[in-house]
Amino acid sequence: MMFTIREAWTAVHGTMMGFGFIMFYTGTLALLFTLRSRLLTPEGVQRNVALLKTAIAIVAVLSWVAVFIGTYVSYPWYRAAPPAGTTELTMYARSFLLANAGKEAWHTFGMEWKEHVAWISPILATAAAAVVWRYGRGLKDSLVLNWTVVVTTLVSFTAAAVAGVLGAFITKTAPVI
């Protein structure tokens, strides 16, 4: 089975970056929650903080890479305008969605979310990473800081998850091939 270059970039954007984001995100949350455990020794706290710094940095990097690939590689193919007189629109995903009754919402809502709201994910992931890197061990002692990072990463994940689900449905409805 051969992929076109567009399909390959779409797979990197959605599947590979998304999978890595989910894996490191869950690790980040687990580390944040265990950091508050009274069972951790000082050495355990130090190890968890080091792992947390790495995991959250990877989450931020993966979310930025996914958004940049989506915005600057896949999205121009999605928005490509068909030549005048073209009636077969399957190669022009945006035009295909807008030309088919009942499918316009995939563009008007789905892609609007992906175009704009998805940028929240890397911004918040970076903010959470900055807090983790700045305060490190202080996250164990400060419930407010710890929960600030948890909530920030949850909102980041939610924005990415909604964008990912919409992207999967849009790609299923009008693939960028």
What is the reported pLDDT for 72? 92
Q: Where are the domains of the chain?
A: 5-81+89-173
d(CA 157, CA 120): 9
Tens digit of pLDDT at every position of the chain (177 positions): 787 887 888 888 888 888 888 899 999 999 999 988 888 889 999 999 999 999 999 999 999 999 999 889 888 888 888 888 888 888 888 888 888 888 888 888 888 888 888 899 999 999 999 999 999 999 999 999 999 999 999 999 999 999 988 888 888 887 776
Q: DSSP 3-state assignment of 3? A: coil
Q: CATH for 5-81+89-173, among 3.30.750, 1.10.8, 1.10.10, 1.20.120?
A: 1.20.120
Q: List, as one string, the DSSP characters of 53-67.
A: HHHHHHHHHHHHHHH
pTM: 0.87
Helix (H), strand (E), coil (C) string for 67-129: HHHHHHHHHHHHHCCCCCCCCCCCCCHHHHHHHCCCCHHHHHHHHHHHHHHHHHHHHHHHHHH
The conformation of residue 174, written as its DSSP 8-state character, comes to S
One-letter amino acid at 17 equals M
List the one residue out of 25, 92, 17 whose CA is nearest residue 52: 25
The conformation of residue 175, written as its DSSP 8-state character, comes to -
